Structure 1
């Protein structure tokens, strides 16, 4: 890592404005921010491109695609993590919370068996210095699965775990209040015929009645005792939001209705929606659109979810839409807001004294082109 890095001739996006200037990094930390160009010969000319904080991703299951690139194909975990990491850093994401799903509803799935393998591969790559982004862990707990609590307790003590979300994907409520969407999604995903789908639906409803409330309560209590950030998932009603707020959750992931998003925002939960929702213009599940929440002023955080390269374009698109999000506020949805919500106050903003996680990007029409990325002042892309 160079002792000093000077980035000049850039469009800096700070917390409250956009201006032409230069930025100085010393020992991995932002040391100075000034308007105008640097006259020093060692300064790097960014050619008028945007200079942004490195992106912070709270919820991505992208690693699973690399672990199982085709049905029935298990890829070596160390290689999968490095491939995933390369895709993450190329998208401008310098801090990523890799989501590990506890409680696989797929009767033929391997998620539960892969969990310890994925966790160990992530930790090993980080420890050996092979990963370019900073990887942390997000445990996604499917509370309707009978084995979720036990597996959660096996994993929650790992030092990389910093975020936990509780979810219930059983039919007839939350994300799948429309059961026809539930049938369409899972019949396509698991190739069920009608009889198999009916049996699957009955089983998931029964599991939810038996396990969800108790496991949600116990998991939240154990997270609170450990000081972990907690997120709700797919809240749809005022009752859901009241429960989440009562549990002391800090993030509301993917609320499915406007009233739930507004209530979450009022209660102090940071409302997280999918960046693909912004890029595509709506939810693939038929729920509330992220753009509508932005028009109402209640969208706080964007997550790339299943497509890492969606994060930066979504923020830039958000700033161009009919809402109150100027470029600094839109960029904050993928930088400062997720960092603070997850308890990381040392990054996510161009501010003297914060970590020099930085991103050079060029806007080409509606496309955002990532040109360089630095993590604690060291170039990683």
Structure 2
């Protein structure tokens, strides 16, 4: 399939529509769809919505990207990762139906996911946008049950535009006529664009700070909307930013008509790897000895700010970063917030990733951001070097979901 990939990525839905038509339009046979776009928090919000629906006894298909350790993570059929046999079957069918035409890896694999979903019974389908929204391969469902736009910030400028309003316009492309949309916290410039498009389409908005509010109070999560106030446990996913992600998930569940059982399940049962995940066992954990080992895949300035805010709330202990990033990311914007929270940084290249930023450039960028930084040939070597000097430290591997996936595979 990679051989079919166009020489450049030009965002368009033409190739997707052609393949869907050749497969007799599986996108028209999906269980009710909840479509999620945004820059930060899409995956966490989807994980919480899924946990909530499942707590209410519903079966849920879920599509997400990128995968971390195995491609199968992208496609969940009624709660379970797609099997090797089922995945091979839909990929083969899509490859044959495509007839050798140019199509991107993400487009053809998204169609394969939609084909699998259309053939398996479930109560809901969760679709996470891959890039942008308006021209994303997931944006082919005419009338979803609900859309969600998580916080929008600057990312993927080469595809989505240089300014926040331009990027917000691409995200708002998932809005559909008459379909309600849950909107997370937005900067004013982004919210204006979303509101304008919603008004043109008659899409009701349920917006953070206007129609619903969420905050932490005395170790509990408090959610309030026009239907009342809910006193809930804090989300199992760590960080202050997860409180707002939880708010979006609760708003979505309430908009769909679900009550307290679903909302509690969303907070209690959500699982989302590589989002400030504490690694508890495996060869890398053994190598770390008495040091804590954490993993996070955030990779843009907003993620750096959220990560720094979370580190500031953890028990006092020196934090040492092991960081690898892609060469398309704003590394300075990501690392600057973390400089105040980290004692050092070991820079690595991401194994097997052609678009990795070389470790030397990561180390140089870290020093410019105010971090004491050195290079390391790999993560395992970096862990050994850190624990030799600080055996009881907190070690955080960060900077890229691709690096996180490599770590999850290496650590078993």
Q: Structure 2-normalised TM-score? A: 0.29
Higher relative contact order (CA 8 A, sep 6+): 1
Greater percentage in strand: 1
